[in-house]
Structure formats: structure tokens, C-alpha cells
Structure 1
Amino acid sequence: MNGVELFLLGRTLTKIGEAAMPEPEGGTSRYGGSVRTVLIVASDLTTHPDSAVGEIATRTGLPQSAVSTAVARLKETGAVVTAPDPADRRRLLVRQAPHLSGRVAEVRASSIDDALTAALGEDADPERLKEIHAALEVLARHLTPHTPARARN
């Protein structure tokens, strides 16, 4: 596998992941770029709690306005909490909420089975699904947001 193939695999996996997530209540559209931004911010916060919006923007490469919008969305769903920075009361620090909100629990409990089956189409036999699940478990074990930074840089 080369870098291009890995990139394309990542895009395919992203699309399957988006298809697997449950629609938000009252949602009128499928997950788009804004949800990807929310997920990038949420992922960053797993390894960098108590971060200011500007710090998140610097680490993720996202525009500060997009990070601010994502933080507002995450706060609205109960996924994160904010508090004034004790060193600079003008800044807000963001961290994951201490308890899972209903929406976060719903998203984390969603299964990839239907989305993976749809992505495989005619090739979605039970053995192939089992093999792909196992491969994804291995990747998740080694390449999650908790993977040491040296592996992600």
C-alpha cells in the first residue's frame, strides 16, 4: 500500500463511518463537512483536554471559526464543557464532559454493520464482514486518538 491508497482507504472509511452514525433528532441533512469538523475537534479533545479554541485550531489545522462552531455544537449536545482559563479569564478552556450525554451515547453505540454491508454491496457475505471487522479492530487498537503523537505526525 502506498500513501495514495492509504488516503483513499481513509476517505472510504470516513464515508462508511458517516453512514453508520445515527441521524440527530430533527436533523434535516446527512452528515457533512460540519460534522467532520465536530468529530475532528472531539477527537483532538480526547488527547488535549483543557484546550482553548485557538490551540485546537492550531493542532487540527481548522479555521478558528470552524472550531468555535464545533465547540458550540458539542457543548449543545452535552459532549463538552467549557470553563474560564484561570490564567487568562478572557479565554475559555474546553474539555470532554465528565458524563456521556444521550446523544454521545447514541452515536458511540451505533453499529457499522449496515453501512459496511452497503459499502460492500454484492461482496457483503458474513465471512468477509467478519474479516473486515477484525481488521478494523486491529487498526482501532493501534491507530486511535490515543496513539502516541509520534505515530500521527
Structure 2
Amino acid sequence: MNAVELFLLGRTLMKIGEAALPTEGIGKHTTSVRTVMIVAGDVRQNPGSAVGEIAARTGLPQSAVSASVARLRTAGAVVTEPDPADRRRMLVNPAAAASERVEEVRAATVDTALATALDTDDPERIAALVATLESLAAELTPQVLGRLRAATD
């Protein structure tokens, strides 16, 4: 596999993941699912961060991070509070308890989206592919991105 093939695979997997997420009742948003997921992951790994810090770590524009934080706050996934050291900044933390919407998203499986993408109804094929993806996910955790960024900086 070369770099282009890996990049395209990642994009395909991202699109299948987006298709698997439940969207009923959430309406249209200006921020992409990808951006919101990146911000949510960063907040879980770095609780108590300001929007600017999240933007610096993720490489996303501060406006995209702010929009994602607003969307996550509406969904009940994060809470914000003023920074005691600088009341102009807001600190972002994961919500203490997952909202109904967050639980719904976390419970969503990729099986149906994979079956649609692969044009198959073979449950054994889907189960095998899901097991392969779970194995990859165990190895390629969000922490590997930090090491990758550090090596390329």
C-alpha cells in the first residue's frame, strides 16, 4: 500500500463512518461531522482546554472549533465554563454524563453502512470486516497522530 492508497482508504472509511452516524432530528449544521469528531476527540483527551488550544492541537481554524464546540454543547457532549485565569476565554470539558444524543451516536454500529458500501447482505463478510477494523482501531489510536505530528514538525 502506498501513501495515496492509504489516504483514499482513510477517506472512504471516514465517509462510511459518517453514513453510519444517526442524523434524525439534528438538522443542518455548518460544521462537518469530521470536524466535530476531531474536536470531540481532542476535548476527551485534553479536558479543560480553551478553543484556541484545541485549534492549535488539531490544526483546525478557530472558527471551526468554536462552531464544533457549540454543536457538541447543544448535543450535551461537552460543557463550557469561563477560565478563572482569564474570564474572556472559555474552557471546554467533556460532559459529566452522556446525553441521550451522545449515547445514540456511540451506540451506532457501522454494519449497515458497510453492507451498503460493499453492496452485500452477507453477515459473515461484514462481521469479518468489522473485526479487521476493530483490530486497526486498537493499533491506530488517536495518540499515534500526536507522535506523527511531532515527527514531522
Normalised by the length of structure 1, the TM-score is: 0.88
CA contact (8 A) 2:51 2:66 kept: yes
Task: Give 1:9-28 correspondences, 5 Å limit.
Answer: 9-25=9-25, 27=27
Structure 1 match to 2:140: 143
Structure 2 match to 1:133: 130
- CA shift, 1:146, in A, is 4.8
Tell me which amino acid in the other structure corresponds to 1:38.
Answer: V
Task: Give 1:3-152 correspondences, 5 Å limit.
Answer: 3-25=3-25, 27=27, 34-122=32-120, 124-147=121-144, 149-150=146-147
Aligned pair in 2 of structure 1 residues 118, 152: CA closer, same or farther (>3 Å)?
A: farther
Which consecutive segments of 4 or more residues in structure 1 shift more than 4 A? none
CA–CA distance in structure 2, aligned partners of residues 57 and 97 of structure 1: 20
- CA shift, 1:95, in A, is 1.0
Aligned pair in 2 of structure 1 residues 91, 104: CA closer, same or farther (>3 Å)?
A: same
- CA shift, 1:26, in A, is 5.1
- CA shift, 1:151, in A, is 5.1
- CA shift, 1:37, in A, is 1.3
Among all aligned residue pairs of Structure 1 and Structure 2, give the percentage whose two residues are the same amino acid. Answer: 62
Q: How big is each residue's C-alpha offset from its partner over 1:21-68, in whole Å with a ceiling of 9 and x where there is no partner?
A: 1114153x5x88522211111011121111100111111111111111
CA–CA distance in structure 1, aligned partners of residues 139 and 30 of structure 2: 27
Aligned pair in 2 of structure 1 residues 5, 131: CA closer, same or farther (>3 Å)?
A: same
Give unmatched runs, 5+ long, in structure 2. Answer: none
Q: When the two structures are aligned, how many residues end up with a matched partner?
A: 150
Structure ranking higher on relative contact order (CA contacts 8 Å, 6+ apart): 1
Aligned pair in 2 of structure 1 residues 46, 23: CA closer, same or farther (>3 Å)?
A: same
